[in-house]
Amino acid sequence: MTPENKTLLDVSLEIIGDRKWEKSAYASPSICSYDLFFLTSLATNIGAENIVEFGCGSTTAELSYRGFNLTTYSMGKSAGASKSANVDYLQCDITKPAMRDIIRASIAKADLLVIDADHSDKFAKYYHENFLSVCGVPIWIHDYWSPRGGRVPHGEQGYLDAHVIGKTHNKRTQTDLPPDAVKIISEHIGFDIMPQYRKEAFNTNPGPRMCSVVLTR
């Protein structure tokens, strides 16, 4: 295990703390149960009383079910949120100029920013320049992988790697860690999460696999 991956592993274990495995009822074809477990562990670890979210889906349902207070901005509700009757969101286009100050004011009161929406480089550039630049709290972003077998499938990660991570923000940890780290996490939480680890190249679609990143300023 490289020193960098050892640091990412240690931070993940710190975030999880003494929490043991709880399978999510809201895992979906686009997000695995471990990513939802880790997200709620992060929210618990930082004592998040207010969470701002871009996108409305399984993350919204899971955080709502766990009792977290959400302010969710989204064009619509994805299938992952349809299992929960308690999911609420503000229907809007986040990129509209009229929403900029409203969202900024919301982020200023938040303890955590969750992003699982449009995965294009254009949207990543927009939220980086308009919201991450004024966000002083941890940011959890879904669909972020360790490269294997070619380019990652989304432009969002390409933008984050080129313009955000190591420049305006630091990578605190990520869920897509090497198998030896995944084994240690499995032992720590009392459940084998290795089946949720992606081994395949990105030109295949094996279903939901762990793939989220936590950024801090």
State the pLDDT at residue 86. 76
Tens place of pLDDT per residue across the chain (217 aa)? 899 999 999 999 999 999 999 999 899 889 999 999 999 999 999 999 999 999 999 999 999 999 999 999 999 888 777 677 678 889 999 999 999 999 999 999 999 999 999 999 999 999 999 999 999 999 999 999 998 777 788 899 999 999 999 999 999 999 999 999 999 999 999 999 999 999 888 878 788 899 999 999 9
Is residue 138 within 8 Å of 213, Cβ to Cβ?
A: no
Q: Pairing between strand 70-74 and 90-91?
A: parallel
CATH T-level topology, domain 3-15+24-199+206-216: Rossmann fold (3.40.50)
pTM, 2 dp: 0.95
Which residues have CB under 8 Å from 2's CB, separation 6+?
A: none
State the pLDDT at residue 85. 63
